[in-house]
Amino acid sequence: MSYPIKTLLRSLHNSFEKQYINTITGLLGVNYIADYFISTKIKQMPNIPEVVKSKKTLTAMNKGVLASELNKTLRGRGPFTVFAPSDRAFGKLESGTLEGLLKPENKVQLTALLSRHIIAYKVNFKNLKEGDKLKTLKGNEVTVTIRNGKICIDDATIQNQDIESSNGVIHSLDTVLID
């Protein structure tokens, strides 16, 4: 049998002093508010494709994720780590390369290229250590190095790190990782 909170508080009032009732009421209110904000924050945190889409410096990566349909994988539970080449990184490629990769007939090559930038577990920036080898979705390994005090993945330097999402983390790179 359940009783409304007011009924329970009235009966508590009869047996306890007012200060205890105020404490209980306060705790119930704090717990409710905390539960509301925690669950709201969790529900509102975007997944990796949504975060990539929202970043002005990752528009080429967003186009690639959509064209390759990796957005379906990256919307999944994860966790994932994405080493996302910035627009400048894609701009370093030979002229027309990105446009060519985005064509439907080149979906296999685009998927292979982008899969080299995705790890099927979460690795925060602080946990990247010199010599670490990380297995990508493509099945190959990328190596963590430190050059001039900066952490690199193969030949690419991490520019922005620990961009959080609901299902992983994104680190942006200054160079596209190519086999």
What is the model's pTM? Answer: 0.76
d(CA 155, CA 58): 19
Radius of gyration of the chain (CA): 24
CATH number for the domain formed by residue range(s) 48-173: 2.30.180.10
Render the burial of 100-131: b for 16+ CB within 10 Å, e for the rest: ebbeeeeeeebbbbbbbbbbeeebeeeebeee
Instruction: Give SS3 for 109.
Output: helix
How does pLDDT run across 73-95, given as a tens digit for each residue?
999 999 999 999 999 999 999 99
How does pLDDT run across 131-157, given as a tens digit for each residue?
999 999 999 999 999 999 999 999 999
| Phi, psi angles (nearest 5°) of residue 81 | -120, 125
- Portion of the chain with pLDDT greater than 70, in percent: 76
Ordered by start, the domain boundaries in the chain are 5-44, 48-173
